[in-house]
Amino acid sequence: MLIGEDMLLMALDVESGRMLPGLDQVNSATFLAACLVAELAVQKQIGWTPQGVHVVDELPNFHPLIDTALKAIKSHGVQPTAEMIKLTRRATKPIVEQHFESLVARGLLHEPSLRRFWLFGPRRYPVRSMRARSEALGHLREAAIGERTSMRSVALLMLANSIGVSQKLLEEAEGNEATARASSLSDEVRADLAAATDWDENASAIAMLVSISEQLPQLLR
């Protein structure tokens, strides 16, 4: 399951298939492109240094969307995080539709109605697999309260917190803890930047995730 797919499952109203109030940004090409860049960081195929984002592992990826993103990033050399997200958004167009089609094909969302977009608004995708949605929420909750500390959990935490998903989907105490944990991690990374001279894979990946979360609000304006 891609991080962006987890986010979509959580952000959809189960019955109507619409995005839940305040979560429309999840259903955007920019946000889902940022999730793909985060996937590459989690898999340690790209990393962040003070000079910019660079490719660490050039091997093809198992997932076509992630592989397309990797090729786009590789072809443009070292770039700032915001530019990498923009490159990925352009290279994976139509990224939103591809995420929904993948979830439908695997039986996690219902097929959308055939009503035309321009007459009746965006297509709706009611949730078919409550188990998959519950698991996605569970992953976010575990990341928020620190039960999981894997790189993917850090990515989920930082991405969700950057656009307020944690506060809207979790209990108030859990949402507050998620915000505090994300803020603390950002502060730690920033504090280490000035003295950092040797970037190992883990430090580079975490710095990448922090950078994505800091750039997203501006890119989504």
Q: pLDDT tens, 176-210?
A: 999 999 999 888 887 776 565 566 778 888 889 99
pLDDT at 127: 96
pLDDT at 87: 95
Q: pLDDT tens, 100-120?
A: 999 999 999 998 865 544 455
State which residues form the domain around 44: 3-219
pLDDT at 14: 95
Average pLDDT over residues 158-186: 92
pLDDT at 22: 93
Helix, strand, coil percentages in the chain from 3-state DSSP, rounded to 5:
65, 5, 30
pLDDT at 113: 65
Number of domains the chain contains: 1
Q: pLDDT tens, 32-74?
A: 999 999 999 999 999 887 778 888 888 887 889 999 999 999 9
**What is the full DSSP assignment across 155-208?**
HHHHHHHHTTHHHHHS-HHHHHHHHHHHHHHHHHHHHHHTT-----HHHHHHHH
Which CATH number goes with the domain that contains 25? 1.10.3630.10
Q: How long a stretch of residues is the chain?
A: 221
- Rounded to whole angstroms, the Cα distance separating 1 from 135 reads 11
Asked if 168 and 23 touch (Cβ cutoff 8 Å), the reply is yes
Which amino acid, residue 189?
V
